[in-house]
Amino acid sequence: MTDVLVWTIRAILPHEELAALVTVLSDKERQKAMRFRRAADRNQYIVAHGRLREILSAELAIPASEVALSSNENGKPHAVLDQDESPIEFSLSHSGDVALVAVSRTGAVGVDIERIDSDTGVLAIAERCFSKQEWETLQSTSESERLTRFFQLWVCKEAYVKGRGEGIIDRLRSFTISLEARGPQLVQDDHDPDAAARWELQLLDAPDGFCAAIAICNPGPRPTTIHARDWNQDSESG
């Protein structure tokens, strides 16, 4: 059985705690944080990446400031231990003041969270970015459900691409996800005909006003067990 840990993190902190998190970031991360013009965006970046380092610190049993991160050509990050990749896979996503970190020791994982914006032009975006089948299904969905269905599809698609470590551009249209009663399912992937047998998708519980999903490479016969943790409530208890 595959087990994945998913942390929910609120990106709002008192100044002293925020300053402490800055110290665990790498020089590159600190420089990127300082480039944000809006204080809210800067603080959200610091909290998301600082908490990620603290989570990886606990998983790898090394200080948070010593967690070495690298990334592939599409920006998918991974931890490095003594020049080798670590035994864990992880994924980070943040939107507004909420971040998610997913950690797996058994295979690739991708996570995505988005704030639900009622002003989103869902049909126009879906026509450009979704597969033909997804676009047609969304078109036929009632207006009262269309916004929710759009964001459910979007986070599933983003999580899948992130889990595979691939770029978003021109990739979202090349595979199809179905939102079935039993949960989202990968129907087909033009780039990987066998992917539907290996990849599992799940919608996650998210704070009000948000939508989130996870994609897990799980070739086994049993579904993945998701262990949900809230940083504010569970971090002290481990």
pLDDT per residue, tens digit, the chain (238 aa), is 468 999 999 988 888 889 999 999 999 999 999 999 999 999 999 999 999 999 999 998 899 988 888 887 777 888 877 656 567 899 999 999 999 999 998 889 999 999 999 999 999 999 999 999 999 999 999 999 999 999 999 999 999 999 999 988 779 999 999 998 889 999 999 999 999 999 999 999 999 999 999 999 987 777 889 999 998 776 654 4
Report the relative pairing of strands 183-189 and 175-180 from DSSP bridges.
antiparallel
CA–CA dist 185, 71 (Å, integer): 28
Q: How far apart are CA 48 and CA 43, in angstroms?
A: 9
Whether 207 and 114 have beta carbons less than 8 Å apart is answered as no
pLDDT, position 41: 92
- Domain residue extents for the chain: 3-234
pLDDT for 237 = 46
Q: What is the pTM of this model?
A: 0.92
CATH code, 3-234: 3.90.470.20
Say which amino acid occupies 229: R
Distance (Å) of CA 188 to CA 166, 172, 191, 201: 16, 12, 9, 13
Half-sphere exposure in the Cβ direction for 23 (13 Å, CA): 6
Helix (H) / strand (E) containing 81: strand 77-81
pLDDT of residue 95: 94
pLDDT of residue 1: 44
CB 47 within 8 A of CB 18: yes
Sheet holding 68-71, edge to edge: 68-71, 77-81, 84-85
